[in-house]
Chain A
Amino acid sequence: MDLSFGIGFALPLALGIAALGGGIGLGNAVKGAMDAIGRQPEASGKLFLPFVIGCALIEALTIYALVVWFSGQSILTATIEAAKAVGGA
């Protein structure tokens, strides 16, 4: 077990866990919005903007995990190249 195995195992898992948390949070937000619209259908115009802001803020946390994926992927390929160079040379 070396660095590339560790990164290769942890990165997709991290993204999956972040997506799980984001999904639960967004589900709660949409539930709240649906309840409010069902209670008062004519307020749906006023509700749209805070709903979109809330969803974007929750989504941002999942996107941070995606950013970790991109930077981790470059580290992963660099580690694999270095290991190949050491193993081949």
Chain B
Amino acid sequence: MLYLLLQHGSEAAEAASDGAAEAASGQSEAISTHLTNWVAAIANYLENTGNEHAGELLEQFENVIFSWIIMAIIAIFFIVIARNLHKIPGRAQNFAEYLFSTLDNFVKDVLGPSGRTYVPLVGSLFIYILCMNLGGIIPFGHSPSSSLNITLSLAICVFLTVQIHGIRGLGLWGWVKHYLGLSHKPHIVEIILSPLMIVLHTIGELAKPVSLSLRLFGNITGEDVLLAVFVGLIAYLTKTMAGHEIFFPLQLMVYPIVLLGSFIQALVFSLLTTVYILLMSPHEEEH
């Protein structure tokens, strides 16, 4: 297994330092912009030994496999803590309680006491997205949120939650009135402007999942590319200067930026979810 990883990784490094466009499957650049991970290494091995379909299938499911592994780790961690609750908490239970109370206070600050129903959603989004973003830092790991499929599906879940919260909280007619821009006692000017307001509000509402998904996707893909370029840089430089690659972990220099970016992106995703739910809640004398 380690042999497969090293073989695939060294193939990629060779292709990087040789600048060989043929070996790097269509990328005609000197430093490759993708780091290998263990699923891609297995898929590469399968393709090279003749199982073309199995290799391609495995490569397509790379993100799903990593997100399931992260889900399993998070779920097992928290279930094991919740099964053995003590009155005086140990370290793990203390950490879980701290995490929960921080997220709980944060959501209740924004949404009010009735926002308790959305603490599971926002908290799970935060923890899951944070762990997914950090998956790219682990050696031979891959962050699933660097693929638009995963971020778009999370954003669609948030969008549906906000709409259903609007329909349940405001009623069906109140939800339509929110899009028409009519307040509680519609003024005649508001009724005249309502065709314009419905276009504006619909486009604004549809822009929210698009911007959520693209923001997370772009940031995490940028961090991935940054890490990969820093890894390939030393191989390329030492290959051209010394003839063979010298190992030097230059990507450690970049880790603080990647950690900060991952944390902030997870925070911003869950924060914006909370704010969108707040904007769709019944508010008096606001419009």
User: Contact residues of A with B, CB < 8 Å?
Assistant: 49, 52-53, 56, 59-60, 63-64, 66-67, 70, 77, 80-81
Contacts and interface: CB of A to CB of B under 8 A. Distances in A.
Given A77-B26, A77-B27, A77-B28, A52 B268 contact: yes
Between A52, A63, A64, A80, the greatest number of chain B beta carbons within 10 A of the residue's beta carbon is seen for: A63
B26 A66 contact: no
Contact of B218 (A66, A77, A81): A66
Consensus secondary structure, chain B interface? helix
A70 B147 CA distance: 12
Interface residues of B, number: 18
B66 interface: no
A81 B265 CA distance: 36
A52 to B, nearest CB: 7
Given A52-B264, A67-B214, A81 B26 contact: yes
B221 interface: yes
Contacts of B268: 52-53, 56
20 contacts: A49-B271, A52-B264, A52-B268, A52-B271, A53-B268, A53-B271, A56-B268, A56-B272, A60-B211, A60-B214, A63-B214, A63-B215, A63-B219, A63-B222, A64-B214, A64-B218, A66-B218, A67-B214, A77-B28, A81-B26
